[in-house]
Structure 1
């Protein structure tokens, strides 16, 4: 007989998910392989998720809900599970980011997490050699769901031009990432400006930072270093950060000129993909 891992559903969101999945599956009289056939995956994957060896994706959760008639239970749990996969020091920021009405961010090194493609995010996250890259990646993609709300936060990102030139993940990944940024040009709730290298010295030289504003909560100023994040609602810090951000916006290219620069860098630095069958 197979050794069935005994889960404590109160230990973590992932443990509760695995415990509930096994409970619901058995209540429907299904073996792991049978449920796998219904939702188009392997029984092994079902077993790995039930024993917390794998993190469930949102797509997996939606298919389980449809198969077991659980009225969105697993889809709702997926959000909690995926958020719990974020580094502990980052989770408080992610929770506040999800509640923000307005996000102002300056990024000196990388594309802001909410705007990253999955390939770009994977390349970024892999640099820290995490134990579960797939789980961490799924958690980052889950953060982006706030942009799909009926009324998402107004997000304004100022990206240093260096972000466009840094080939994270290689040429193909960067080409698709810059194309993704251009898609946001027509998004009602997102604005992207590029701070050109010609701006010289500016208030953002100290590093990336983000200011979150809320309808019913004090503003929050957030920065992070290699090991942790730092979040404060100190009024003086917010005032100083807001002033710096205003200077950065003023020095940055307009939204239209920023889009033109992104398109230019995409074409000149990363080029178009070769036509199928083309000979080098």
Structure 2
């Protein structure tokens, strides 16, 4: 008889996910291979997820929920599973992202994680460490699920012009990332503004930071160093960073002018007609 790995569902969110997946699959009378055939994944992958050796993804979870009639259980669990896989020092920040009604970010040299494409995120995460890169990329992209919630936060993202020109991952990756930024041009909940080089000295010279605002709780400022994060609700720090962000938004290009600069950057750096995120021409 084949050995069956018995999971403790209380060990971790990933173990609980695997336990529930196996329980519902067996209740449906399906083998791992049969379920894999139904959802267009391998039986081996189903087994790896069931035994907490492989991270589930959103498409996988949605297909399993549909196939097993679980009422969206696994898809709902996915956010918890992915957040649990983040570095310990960053998990609190992911929880802040998930609870915030408004997120204001300023980054000088790269697109914020909530706006990154898969290829761009993979290039950023793999710059110094390529271990478990697929899983780490899946976890980072999992944070973007908050933008698809029934009541998503309003996201304001001010990015330095350097983020448009720093070629992370190569030309194809950058084309995809700039196209992703352009895809939000008419989205009232995701607002991208570019701080151009021409501004010179500005209120964000001390570095990148995020502001999280909530319905009932005090606002929180988050700054980040190498391998550590620094969230604080100190009123003086929040007041200072809120003022800085107001000045950064005032100095940055408007949303429409920012989109125009992104398009020009694509033409200058890549010398070809840019496409919309779904592959259609923007010309």
Question: TM range, normalised to the smaller chain?
Answer: over 0.9
The 5 Å alignment of 1:1-280 reads 1-129=1-129, 131-272=131-272
Return the offset for 1:94: 0.9
| Contact 2:267 2:273 survives alignment (8 Å) | no
| Contact 1:174 1:270 survives alignment (8 Å) | no
Distance 2:252 2:69 in 1: 51
Distance 2:19 2:178 in 1: 41
> Higher mean Cα deviation, 162-171 or 122-131?
122-131
Query: Does the C-alpha gap of structure 1 residues 100 and 40 become closer, same or farther in structure 2, counting only changes over 3 Å?
Result: same
Gaps of 5+ in 1: 275-280
Q: In the TM superposition, what whole-angstrom CA distance separates every residue of 1:214-242 from its partner, at most 9, and x where no partner exists?
A: 11110000011111111011100000101
Distance 1:248 1:13 in 2: 39
Q: In the TM superposition, what whole-angstrom CA distance separates every residue of 1:244-266 from its partner, at most 9, and x where no partner exists?
A: 11221222222222111111101
| Contact 1:82 1:135 survives alignment (8 Å) | no
RMSD: 1.6
Per the alignment, residue 277 of structure 1 pairs with none
Query: Does the C-alpha gap of structure 1 residues 273 and 42 become closer, same or farther in structure 2, counting only changes over 3 Å?
Result: farther
Distance 2:105 2:205 in 1: 14
Distance 1:73 1:26 in 2: 16
| Contact 1:58 1:78 survives alignment (8 Å) | yes
Return the offset for 1:133: 2.0
Distance 1:130 1:81 in 2: 21
Structure 1 counterpart SS, 2:40: coil
| Contact 1:223 1:230 survives alignment (8 Å) | yes
Return the offset for 1:273: 7.1
Structure 1 counterpart SS, 2:87: coil
Q: In the TM superposition, what whole-angstrom CA distance separates every residue of 1:11-62 from its partner, at most 9, and x where no partner exists?
A: 1001111122222222222221111112111111111111111101111111
Per the alignment, residue 281 of structure 2 pairs with none
State TM-score, norm by structure 1.
0.93
Distance 2:242 2:201 in 1: 18
Query: Does the C-alpha gap of structure 1 residues 151 and 9 become closer, same or farther in structure 2, counting only changes over 3 Å?
Result: closer
Structure 2 counterpart SS, 1:124: helix
Query: Does the C-alpha gap of structure 1 residues 130 and 172 become closer, same or farther in structure 2, counting only changes over 3 Å?
Result: closer
Structure 2 counterpart SS, 1:164: helix
Give aligned pairs, total: 274
Per the alignment, residue 278 of structure 1 pairs with none
| Contact 1:83 1:91 survives alignment (8 Å) | yes
Q: Which runs of 4+ in 1 moved over 6 A?
A: none
Distance 1:65 1:250 in 2: 46
State TM-score, norm by structure 2.
0.92
Return the offset for 1:3: 2.5
Distance 1:142 1:164 in 2: 23
Return the offset for 1:98: 1.4
> Higher mean Cα deviation, 86-95 or 20-29?
20-29
| Contact 1:102 1:213 survives alignment (8 Å) | yes
Gaps of 5+ in 2: 275-283
Return the offset for 1:128: 4.0
Distance 1:25 1:79 in 2: 21
